[in-house]
Chain A
Amino acid sequence: MPENDYNYAVFNLQAELGKFEEFENLPLHAGRRALDFPVEDLETGQTTQLKELWSAGLLIVEFGSYT
Chain B
Amino acid sequence: MAARYAHRSVRSVFLYTREAHPGESFGHHTSMEDKRHNARAFRAEFDVKRQILLDDLKGTAHRAYGMLPNMSWIIGPGGMIHYKATWTDPVDIEDALKYALDAQQRRAKYKLLPYHSERLKWRVRDDDKFRTRLLKNGPQAVKDFYG
Contacts and interface: CB of A to CB of B under 8 A. Distances in A.
22 contacts: A3-B57, A6-B59, A7-B18, A7-B29, A9-B27, A11-B144, A20-B86, A26-B65, A28-B81, A29-B116, A31-B80, A35-B65, A39-B53, A39-B61, A41-B53, A43-B51, A54-B77, A54-B78, A56-B11, A65-B16, A65-B42, A67-B21
Contacts of B38: 65-67
Interface in B43-96: 43, 45, 50-84, 86, 88, 93
Q: Which of B5, B52, B100, B116 has the most CB of A within 10 A?
A: B52
Interface residues of A, number: 50
Given A6-B18, A10-B144, A41-B53, A36 B79 contact: yes
Interface in A22-37: 22-23, 26, 28-37
Nearest to B51: A41
B61 A37 contact: yes
Contacts of A29: 81, 84, 116
Which interface class (under 10, 10 to 19, 20 to 34, 35 or more) fits B? 35 or more
B42 A54 contact: no
A11 B32 CA distance: 20
Contact of B15 (A20, A26, A61): A61
A42 B16 contact: yes
Given A8-B28, A9-B27, A30 B116 contact: yes
A54 B19 CA distance: 26
Given A11-B141, A30-B81, A64 B69 contact: yes
Contact of A23 (B19, B68, B101): B68
Given A57-B77, A62-B15, A19 B66 contact: yes
Interface string B1-39: 110010011111111111111110011111010001011
Nearest to A22: B66
A30 B83 contact: yes
Contact of B36 (A10, A33, A38, A42): A42
